[in-house]
Amino acid sequence: MSKSDQLKSQDWRSVIRLVGECRELGDDPHRWRRHCVEQLARLVGADWGCCPEMADLRSGAPKDLGVTYSGLENGAIESALRKLQASIEHEPTLYGAMLAYFERMAQEDGACLSRQEIIADRDWYRSTSYQVIHRSLDVDHVVWCFRTLGDGGGDDSSGLLLYRETGARGYHARDRSILREANAALAPLVGGPLARFTEPSPTDLAPRVRRVLGCLLEGDGDKQIAARLGISVHTVNQYTKLIYQHFGVCSRAELLARWVRRGWGGRFAWID
């Protein structure tokens, strides 16, 4: 590895800052991931990216548990991506390059590899992965980085993928190192301070219900919430029941304990 490829002190500071910022947004599974991808794309000069959570990577038939995209201004592209994603889940061999990455990941958990390390240019441009997926999105270079969640006994993983448009340069070793170290720091927090896709999220609630949730978490009583939001106490009680049901808790104390136990603070990015 050349000197220019090694991580610099500012790279480490950026990764540490990113982890702290993600923790601030950790109670919302989409917001922390979106912020993560935005910042990493800026750090390595990617055009856009995504942060998926997947299961059964070692089986050859990976399952999508959720994904957050960032950097896509065109909704039509994101719609096309989701259709491709569904096609890939139905027929994994459609994206053979990613399956090849998963085989490498089985040998090195957390490996961060560019498509050039997976498949040579000559084979890449003739592959289904490029012709059907990348070419249709006008992207060429991609870097994959997945790390197993929990103690490694399961097969759920959190991933980071960053893309560059056709004609852009490939990813250097330093770019991959930044991505690898970021995922190494973030993955152990997923399911703890960083919410998973597989758990209930505040963003699944209606905006008015989310505002009541925020008041509850700040310790307000029913009458305080009603006065603060300009709604009746009866409405507060109805919304509170919805919140308890959504998060699978039976009391305000249990709800608060959930937030405290996960290390979530008093900044609620999900309140509009």
CB within 8 A of 217, min separation 6: which ones? 255, 256, 259, 266, 268
**160 has which bridge partners?**
145
Query: Confidence band (pLDDT; 50, 70, 90) for 93?
Result: confident
Q: How far apart, in whole angstroms, are the C-alpha atoms of residue 166 and residue 159?
A: 22
pLDDT of residue 50: 93
CATH code: domain 202-262 is 1.10.10.10
Q: What is the pLDDT of residues 178-201, one digit of tens each?
A: 999 999 999 999 999 999 998 888
CATH of 3-189, picked from 3.40.190.10, 3.30.450.80, 3.40.50.12280, 3.30.465.10, is 3.30.450.80
Q: Which amino acid is at 167?
A: G
Q: Where are the domains of the chain?
A: 3-189, 202-262
Helix/strand/coil for 172: coil
Cα distances (angstroms) measured from residue 64 to each of 16, 61, 85, 102: 28, 10, 8, 14
Q: What is the pLDDT of residues 13-41, one digit of tens each?
A: 999 999 999 998 888 899 899 999 999 99
pTM score, two decimals? 0.85
pLDDT of residue 272: 67
pLDDT of residue 209: 96
